Amino acid sequence: MDMLPQADALLVVRTDFSDQERWQAVRDSLGDIDKDGWAKEFSDQVKVVEDPACQGLTSQQLLALLPDGYKDPLFVIADKVTIDSQEMPFLVIELECTWEMRVIPSELPAIHANLSIGNMDFGEFAESADADGVFRGFHG
């Protein structure tokens, strides 16, 4: 793969192609996605990449493929863990410090929104991740 597509959006990249039915459930967790890979319900700022050339690539390999000018504070990977887990936790990478954390789909919009407007930083979410490293929301 040369480079990931240029998009003024949060990129969600699929790296596991083992189960198409399960992938559809993962895609559905992002909201309604049009034929060009744009999520409509989550926000107009999400672009899903389903290129088989990304099969099995690591987070570091994918980060090297980000296009110049990628402006979003996050990068999201739907990998084997995402596909195999009942909760479908995405691997979310905060790009400024390249911190990684797993996030269940229902929490991804809140993290993205808060980081995009500078309301919170990634560390605040990471500190509230459960013992298994997955962020499932804030627990009061």
Look at residue 136 in the predicted model and tell me its pLDDT.
Answer: 95
The answer to pTM > 0.85 is: yes
Amino acid at 83: I
Task: Find out whether 35 and 72 touch, Cβ atoms under 8 Å.
Answer: no
pLDDT digits (tens, 9 = 90+) for 2-42: 899 988 889 999 999 999 999 999 988 887 666 665 556 56
pLDDT digits (tens, 9 = 90+) for 97-137: 889 999 999 899 889 888 888 899 999 999 999 999 999 99
- Domains of the chain with CATH codes: 10-135 (3.40.50.800)
Task: Say if residue 87 is exposed, middle or buried (CB neighbours under 10 Å; 0-12, 13-18, 19+).
Answer: middle
Look at residue 117 in the predicted model and tell me its pLDDT.
Answer: 86
